[in-house]
């Protein structure tokens, strides 16, 4: 069988700069291709070319006879007034089969995607559920190949797992643009990176994402050796040319031509392999206060939701119940939960945008919070210059004046882009603009709501390192499980029914959520009777007591521990401050052995301090 899709020598450019040149690739039956590359490499454009949505400037794309390709773009929109059922019925209209068969297929696809209310309006769904509907709509045609552009950007963690299962269990081939490394690892049988550093414009490796990274490193090492060898040969030829050989003989003329060709080849290779990375460096305040934000028995209500799978009874829905949580300096909190469970609402509560329905939220004096909104509010009429520096041609970063052109270059923008409007920027470029703005604000707490959408993998890696190094507190909402597991020191999980829990990692929260679902299905009435019997209500659970009742009295030993823990914390704070002072002491810093001992003590003091604060929060939750 010929390939489903066959692209040969495809070129596309916008303006003077080409996105990609003479790209050739094929998509075979059953292939699971993850398409990656830096922002601006042309991944979305190449996918649209493969789908027949965009014409290439040169080259051609051949589609196997009678093969069906389904394309799901980044932004999934539906006309006002269309219900979920109508969207799927319209997609099924051209398919073969009886009305009964079409109805059965509609219900099967809707059920697998999690749509319980088929009369819900498609346009009113959240971004994640609209993405599910767009993918389900594409599945109706039973395609031989699915072309998915950044589908995980809008899906929550449960939605990503649904898509992973769909891709790994379905017979069709798939080409998926994604920067989610766990998603690529679990769903891809081969990886294609679109990048100008490669001689062919792309690198294609059979295997999962981990294997691709190994092969990429080997390729770049080999290319580096070739580049260095060529550089040495060019150096020799340049010395020979400087001696002024007479080009009278055929041999001399040939050598001069060869030398010039090698110089041009080296220049092209140097140009290709020069890789710039975004300079991300969040600025922290010098706050010494340990407790930054404290939630005590916090409850929050929101209007009832129209999203599939969530109750909609026309009355306010209890989003959070009995939340007790302490955010301390240096804490890295991953905030997880299904769509509509209240992650963004909790960030807004933390900021003080509105008051809780019950309980109290205490914030440290003069607390400075920096908030990255998933809505990415940018004035699209502004030029990039004004978006980065609202007034004048310079900004102040960490006490230094920086020209706006230099600041833009740090985030991989060219001087030509400075006078272009923000509306012309890609999703990844807009995210970099917002990060550039956030970096100018010293912060005690970073509140980041889906900052990773549209960021390429190199930028994600730099963001990870800077979040790990940030000395303040961090609350991170992200669907990127790799980033979540690497950065978070604790996970605060929501289940969408008002319950919350604190966990060591994402996997522990996932297990708890499954237990919650099972308990909801099997023992709802029994749970009500138990709550009436012991007088408790569904509230917060921690990772250690996720299977038991939400509130407990302290045991005798725990009560003694709780009575003494505040004094222990004060001693731990003093030890940590002394350890930090030792590391900063110039005499110790200049002595290798002393510095090594001081760093070891700092690490031990920090671990003790974090453990104590975590235990204090756990006991406080039990006391209520």
In the DSSP assignment, the letter for residue 232 is: H
Residue 145 clears pLDDT 90, i.e. is over it: yes
- Candidate from 47-56, 478-487, 555-564 with smallest mean pLDDT: 555-564
Provide the pLDDT for residue 541. Answer: 41
Q: What are phi and psi of 168, to 5 degrees?
A: -80, -20
Question: Quick check: 124 and 170 in contact, CB under 8 A?
Answer: no
**Least reliable range by pLDDT among 360-374, 432-446, 560-574:** 560-574
**3-state SS assignment for residue 70:** strand
Tell me what pLDDT residue 413 has: 85
The DSSP secondary structure of 207-226, one letter per residue, reads: S-HHHHHHHHHHHHHHHHHH
β-bridge partners, 295: 325, 361
Q: What is the pLDDT confidence band of residue 3, given thresholds at 50, 70 and 90?
A: very high
- In the block, residue with structure tokens 């050739």: 24
Residue 24 reports pLDDT greater than 90: yes
- Binned at pLDDT 50, 70 and 90, residue 477 comes out as very high
132 vs 510, residue with greater confidence: 132
What one-character DSSP code corresponds to residue 57?
S
* More confident of the two residues 548 and 588: 588
Q: Who has greater pLDDT, 532 or 470? A: 470
Provide the pLDDT for residue 282: 64
Beta carbons of 490 and 332 less than 8 angstroms apart:
yes
Angle between helices 427-438 and 457-469 (to 10 degrees): 20
User: Could you write out the DSSP letters of every residue in 406-438?
Assistant: HHHHHTT--GGGGGSBGGGS-HHHHHHHHHHHH
Longest dimension (CA), the chain: 106
Q: Which of 397, 400, 432, 396 is nearest to 417 (CA)?
A: 432
pLDDT tens digits, one per residue of 336-356: 988 778 888 899 999 998 889
Structure tokens, 556:
């005798």
Q: Average pLDDT, stretch 528-546?
A: 44
Q: Answer whether residue 138 shows pLDDT above 90.
A: yes
Q: Is the confidence at residue 298, as pLDDT, over 70? A: yes
| pLDDT given at position 10 | 95
- Do the bridges between strand 500-503 and strand 490-494 make them parallel or antiparallel, or are there none, so unpaired? antiparallel
Nearest to 408 by CA among 377, 376, 386: 386
436 near 382, Cβ under 8 Å?
no
Tokens read off for 408: 């833009």
**Average pLDDT in the 261-272 region?**
68
pLDDT for 267 beyond 50: yes
Name the nearest CA neighbour of 195 among 265, 275, 264: 275
CA distance 134 to 98: 24
CA within 13 Å, CB half, 294: 15
Structure tokens that stand for 440 in this block? 């100018």
Residue 60, pLDDT score: 94
Which of the pair, 221 or 589, is modelled with greater confidence? 221
C-beta neighbour count of 321 within 10 angstroms: 22
Instruction: Answer whether 44's CB lies under 8 Å from 66's CB.
Output: no
- Residues 181, 486: Cα–Cα separation, whole Å: 12
Average pLDDT (8-22) is: 84
Query: pLDDT class for 303, splitting at 50, 70, 90?
Result: low
Taking residues 490-516, report their average pLDDT. 84
Which residues have C-beta within 8 Å of that of residue 83, sequence separation ≥ 6? 118, 119, 120, 121, 122
Q: Are strands 358-363 and 291-302 parallel, antiparallel or unpaired?
A: antiparallel
Residues 6+ apart with CB under 8 A from 378: 387, 422, 430, 433, 434
Q: Which of 262-266, 279-283, 358-362 has the lowest mean pLDDT?
A: 279-283
Q: Are 183 and 210 in contact (CB under 8 A)?
A: no
Comparing 64-73, 361-370, 504-513, the range with the smallest average pLDDT is 504-513
Judge whether residue 527 has pLDDT over 60: no
* Statement: residue 39 has pLDDT above 50: yes
Confidence of residue 252 (pLDDT cuts 50, 70, 90): low
- Angle, helix 99-113 to helix 84-92, in steps of 10 degrees: 130
Q: How far apart are CA 244 and CA 604, in angstroms?
A: 67
Contacts 24+ apart (CB under 8 A), 565-569: 565/612, 565/615, 565/616, 565/619, 566/616, 568/612, 569/290, 569/609, 569/612, 569/613, 569/616
Highest mean pLDDT, choosing among 187-201, 268-282, 448-462, 515-529:
187-201
Helix %, strand %, coil % of the chain (to 5) = 45, 20, 35
Position 457 scores a pLDDT of: 84
Structural contact between residues 352 and 360, judged by C-beta atoms closer than 8 angstroms: no
How much is the average pLDDT of 463-468?
A: 84
Cα–Cα distance, 28 to 172 (Å, whole number): 10
Give the 3-state DSSP-derived string for 463-489, with helices as H, strands as E and coil as C. Answer: HHHHHHHCCCEEEEECCCHHHHHHHCC
> Which one, of 534, 567, 568, lies nearest residue 549 by Cα?
534
Place of tokens 């980044």: 74
């Amino acid at each position: 069988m010929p390939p489903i899709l066959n692209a040969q020598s495809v070129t596309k450019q916008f303006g003077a700069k080409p996105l990609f040149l003479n790209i050739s690739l094929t998509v075979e039956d059953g292939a699971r291709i993850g398409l990656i590359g830096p922002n601006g490499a042309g991944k979305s454009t190449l996918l649209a070319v493969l789908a027949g949505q965009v014409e290439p400037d040169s080259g051609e794309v051949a589609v196997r006879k009678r093969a069906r390709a389904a394309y799901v773009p980044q932004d999934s929109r539906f006309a006002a007034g269309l219900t979920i059922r109508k969207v799927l019925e319209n997609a099924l209209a051209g398919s073969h089969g009886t009305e009964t068969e079409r109805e059965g297929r509609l219900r099967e696809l809707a059920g697998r995607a999690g749509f319980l209310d088929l009369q819900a309006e498609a346009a009113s769904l959240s971004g994640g559920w609209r993405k599910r509907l767009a993918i389900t709509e594409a599945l109706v045609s039973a395609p031989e190949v699915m072309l998915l552009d950044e589908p995980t950007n809008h899906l929550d963690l449960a939605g990503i797992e649904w898509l992973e299962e769909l891709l790994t269990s379905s017979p069709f081939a798939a080409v998926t643009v994604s920067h989610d490394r766990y998603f690529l690892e679990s769903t891809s049988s081969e990886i294609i990176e679109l990048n100008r550093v490669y001689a062919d414009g792309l690198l294609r490796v059979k295997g999962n994402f981990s294997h691709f990274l190994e092969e990429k490193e080997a390729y770049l090492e080999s290319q580096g050796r070739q580049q260095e060898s060529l550089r040495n040969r060019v150096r020799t030829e340049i010395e020979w040319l400087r001696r002024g050989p007479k080009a009278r003989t055929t041999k001399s003329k040939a050598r001069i031509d060869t030398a010039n060709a090698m110089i041009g080849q080296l220049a092209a290779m140097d140009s290709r392999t020069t890789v710039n990375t975004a300079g991300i460096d969040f600025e922290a305040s010098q706050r010494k206060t340990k407790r930054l934000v404290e939630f005590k028995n916090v409850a929050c209500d929101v209007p009832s939701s129209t999203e599939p799978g969530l109750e909609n009874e026309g009355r306010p829905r209890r989003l959070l119940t009995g939340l007790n949580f302490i955010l301390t300096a240096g804490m890295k909190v991953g905030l997880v939960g299904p769509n509509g469970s209240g992650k963004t609402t909790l960030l807004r509560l933390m900021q003080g945008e509105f008051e809780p329905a019950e309980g109290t939220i205490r914030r440290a004096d003069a607390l400075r919070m920096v908030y990255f909104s998933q809505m990415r509010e940018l004035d699209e009429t502004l030029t990039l210059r004004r978006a980065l520096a609202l007034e004048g041609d310079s900004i102040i970063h960490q006490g230094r004046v920086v020209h706006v052109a230099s600041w833009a270059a740090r985030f991989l923008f060219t001087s030509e882009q400075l006078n272009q409007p923000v509306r012309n920027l890609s999703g990844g470029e807009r995210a970099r603009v917002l990060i550039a703005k956030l970096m100018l604000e010293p912060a005690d707490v970073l509140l980041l709501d889906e900052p990773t959408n549209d960021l390429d993998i190199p930028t994600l890696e730099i963001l990870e390192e800077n979040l790990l190094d940030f000395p303040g507190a961090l609350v991170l909402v992200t669907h990127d499980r790799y980033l979540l597991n690497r950065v978070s020191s604790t996970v605060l999980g929501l289940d969408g029914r008002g319950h919350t829990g604190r966990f060591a990692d994402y996997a522990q929260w996932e297990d708890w959520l499954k237990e919650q679902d099972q308990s909801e299905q099997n023992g709802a009435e029994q749970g009500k009777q138990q709550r009436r019997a012991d007088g408790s209500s569904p509230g917060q659970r921690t990772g250690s007591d996720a299977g038991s009742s939400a509130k407990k009295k302290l045991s005798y030993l725990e009560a003694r521990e709780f009575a003494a823990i505040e004094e222990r914390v004060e001693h731990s704070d003093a030890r940590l401050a002394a350890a930090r002072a030792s590391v900063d002491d110039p005499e110790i810093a200049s002595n290798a052995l002393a510095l090594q001992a001081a760093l070891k003590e700092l690490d031990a003091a920090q671990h003790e301090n974090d453990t104590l604060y975590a235990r204090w929060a756990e006991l406080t939750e039990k006391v209520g």
